Structure 1
Amino acid sequence: MGFFTAVGVEGLKIRKSKMIWITLAVFTAAPLMAGFFIFVLKNPEFAKSSGLIGDKAQLFGLADWPTYLSMLAQIIAVGGILVFGFVTSWVFGREYADRTIKDLLTLPLHRLSIVMAKFLAVFITNFLLGAYVVIIGVIIGFFIKLPAWSMEAVLDGGFVLLVTTILTSTLSTPPAFVACYSRGYLAPIGFILFMVVLAQVIAAAGYGAFFPWAVPALFSGIAGTGAVLGLSSFFAVFFTGLIGLAATLYWWLYADQH
């Protein structure tokens, strides 16, 4: 069985699992909520009659396409840490939970190829999930007739969305190692939740630019235009992703598998 066949098999596992449909349901709710808030912001009369909802919607700024695309990027940055990490935890952890790891190890395929096939399937799934959020969000944006649509807004917003998705997906490799080390998917989910909470605390303290799990949210504009990220912030994210990838590869190649 070749490498791309292994990728196809991993993709089939994801497509046939209940996990991906639960994930889609969660990610569908996010742009719907964003669209609702932007609709409230766009209609002052409705916002006034909604009380606190209208007041909260005012926090997002103007009801236009640049603001809305920024909201979608923030959804991917924050929600993607959880959702992308959950997908990764399931792909790697289920082999231990379902006790199918022994079957993988008997295949006439190098362990390196198995791990890389899993990672490639995960990254493709994550990007498709990110694209799904953007497509649903854009449809909602046209439905509520947001103003300020322009090619410049699309290019700027698209760039932020793309980079945010890449940064967030890169941080999904450490949960893969935790899943392998713990031989399940509960520990990596706990790890992800801990990192999300820790990112909030560190960002509130003013050091979010130095903590990898806070960088995607800051880049998406969740802290406003005041947050400045240097090359060291992006390096920290990709270095963390590389460490997670290397640790997972090392575990599969050299750790005892039972």
Structure 2
Amino acid sequence: MFGLLGFGLMTSWTFGREYSDRTLKALLGLPISRGYLMPIGFAFTTLMLALVFGSTDIGTYLPWSVPALHLKESGVASFPLADTSYFLVFLIGLAGFIWTVKWLLNREHR
């Protein structure tokens, strides 16, 4: 509920600022660089994978569904999380951190 309220407020504030700054007409008309499409596509794909496979046994090995399964485990869980689940979350998080740092270091030199 708070996420819906937060995203609603953020979206309305963003479009409100675009309207008051008179830049709304160019908001959807300007081209988007390719650097934004890949992260949005990746986020959408991982969300869909977590939704589809999160409630199955495969969900224990998807790092994007482990937090929801961890919360579910506080009640009555249909299957327990393995140590591998937490290791994969750590591994993916570490890989994302290293990739981000390398990208930022290379990006600063351009």
Is 1:212–1:237's contact at 8 Å kept on the other side of the alignment? yes
Distance apart, 1:235 and its partner CA: 1.1
SS of the residue corresponding to residue 212 of structure 1 reads coil
4+ residue runs of structure 1 moved beyond 6 angstroms? none
Q: Which runs of 5+ in 2 are unaligned?
A: 8-33
Hey, what's the Cα distance between the residues in 2 that align with 1:197 and 1:257? 35
Count of paired positions? 83
Q: Deviations over 1:178-221 (max 9, x none)?
A: xxxx533x432221121011112223442111110010111111
Hey, what's the Cα distance between the residues in 1 that align with 2:76 and 2:42? 27
Which one of the candidate residues 60, 64, 70 is aligned to 1:219?
70
Counterparts of 1:67-106 in structure 2, within 5 Å, are: none
Which one of the candidate residues 46, 52, 58 is aligned to 1:201?
52
Is 1:218–1:227's contact at 8 Å kept on the other side of the alignment? no
What does residue 243 of structure 1 align with? 95
- Tell me which amino acid in the other structure corresponds to 2:100: T
What does residue 183 of structure 1 align with? 35
Is 2:57–2:79's contact at 8 Å kept on the other side of the alignment? no
Is 1:221–1:227's contact at 8 Å kept on the other side of the alignment? no
Q: Which runs of 5+ in 1 are unaligned?
A: 1-24, 31-82, 84-181
The structure that is helix-richer by fraction is: 1
Hey, what's the Cα distance between the residues in 2 that align with 1:224 and 1:208? 16
Hey, what's the Cα distance between the residues in 1 that align with 2:101 and 2:38? 18
Distance apart, 1:255 and its partner CA: 5.2
Is 2:50–2:64's contact at 8 Å kept on the other side of the alignment? yes
Is 2:54–2:60's contact at 8 Å kept on the other side of the alignment? yes
Residue identity over aligned pairs, in percent, reads: 31
Hey, what's the Cα distance between the residues in 2 that align with 1:191 and 1:200? 14
Is 1:212–1:233's contact at 8 Å kept on the other side of the alignment? yes
Hey, what's the Cα distance between the residues in 1 that align with 2:48 and 2:5? 21
* TM-score under structure 2 length normalisation: 0.59
Hey, what's the Cα distance between the residues in 2 that align with 1:27 and 1:226? 27
What does residue 15 of structure 2 align with? none
